[in-house]
Structure 1
């Protein structure tokens, strides 16, 4: 039996409504801060596609008011499950914008775990949106997604901390450094911490996101990165990060 849900989030962004619109309603904009790869037909009734791990989901755009409102939803499945996303954009003084998100629909039997994962996930991704608009606005990103299922939570985070030169207690602003075979050297700062689910690192040319799904969702370690360096080969970078993740000594 399906369970109806509605999740609301609000964030103030240091960008104009037009810049926020470009970031949430165009494929290159969304790819610069959200997981996977997205494409949108720029009209009401158009298609919105989301691809990750070789799977593509198609939604229908139900609201298209540039710099004001953007909405889309999936078709209900045989079990009644569907997802609907609505963004409301409101300009404020000083060049800032309030973005309101409403994520609603119907979830399956494991709805409580799914709902909690969405709540914490949106917090991280909306923060990443804010980082993109401040530090990389208007730049296209090469996206990297790598997965390693069936790994222990403590081992995953302990190995990441060691790789980046971090201590047991991690806070935003901590300096990080990583030098690993196959990867370009990384020098940056922690910009997001919500352990044991998320760790974010920002450098001069990238937003790196490390995610742990939890035991109830397969104990998967994930790299979900946005690379802004000119001429970056995202396909090769993804292979390199997958190799790095596969070899991460998680115990």
Structure 2
């Protein structure tokens, strides 16, 4: 049965309103995934066929799409971003609201969307704090094999990374021959940050899907295919071990 939902979050970040606005509207893949930038006007076309219903840089941006293409469980999707300056414009306060209509399996859909929102917005803050102004030179995202749908699959990923459920943020680990900082860890998600990349691990097995990985690479010579090949091989290897 169709039912409306709303997921709202507020936070402050050490970035200017203009930097936050650029992160929300440029579509480069610095914190979410690459997408077409919105047409910069009210009434313009936004990402994924949405309509820009509010355009007031760098304060407010809203896009809305009905009959969401490719997502049978959702018929309406709206994203609303409000940005206000703090500390004479050196910092920003942000309110993010994701709303719409889920058609089926409402509780599971809402739980997944809510938990993903927290992780995506954390990644946004990591991007603004550590990589603002650096272009994303390579972005890769992919899923694990069928075995990564198992209930204990994400725990296996954590063990392979050397990251337990109680590993605190700020812990340093070595993965794929690179030093990394654990910037996020809970039973559903793991975030690693290197000097040149944000590497995100998604425990989507909790919602019946494979474990996912995304790599946001800011190195000047980064190669998305090389990133995908390396990390896909690593992830497949986690689930091929006896």
1:171 is matched with 168
User: Which residue number corresponds to residue 106 of structure 1?
Assistant: 101
Structure 1 unaligned segments of length 5 or more: list them.
Answer: 50-56, 180-184
Q: What is the aligned-residue RMSD (CA, Å)? A: 2.0
Higher share of residues assigned strand? 1
- TM-score (norm: length of structure 2): 0.88
Measured after TM superposition, the shift of residue 116 of structure 1 is 1.0
Shift of the alpha carbon at 1:222?
A: 0.6
The 1:72/1:80 distance shift into structure 2, 3 A limit, reads: same
Q: Shift of residue 113 of structure 1?
A: 0.9
- Choose from 190, 194, 203 the match for 2:182: 190
- Matched with 1:213 is 204
Count of residue pairs brought into register by the alignment: 233
Identify the residue that residue 117 of structure 2 maps to in structure 1.
122
- Contact 2:112 2:207 survives alignment (8 Å): no
Aligned to 1:147: 143
Deviations 1:57-114 (A, max 9, x none): 3211111111100110112369871100000001011611011011111101211111
Q: Secondary structure at the match of 2:50?
A: strand
The answer to whether the 8 A contact 1:205-1:228 is kept is yes
Q: How far 1:202 sits from its partner (Å)?
A: 0.8
Residues 79 and 98 in structure 2, CA contact (< 8 A), matched pair in contact too:
yes
Distance 1:80 1:168, change over 3 A: closer
Q: Give the corresponding residue for 1:90.
A: 84
TM-score, length basis structure 1: 0.85
Residue matched to 2:49:
58
1:232 CA displacement:
0.7
Structure 2 unaligned regions, length at least 5 = none
- 1:79/1:127 Cα in 2 relative to 1: closer, same or farther (>3 Å)? closer
Deviations 1:122-155 (A, max 9, x none): 1111111111111100111121101025322424
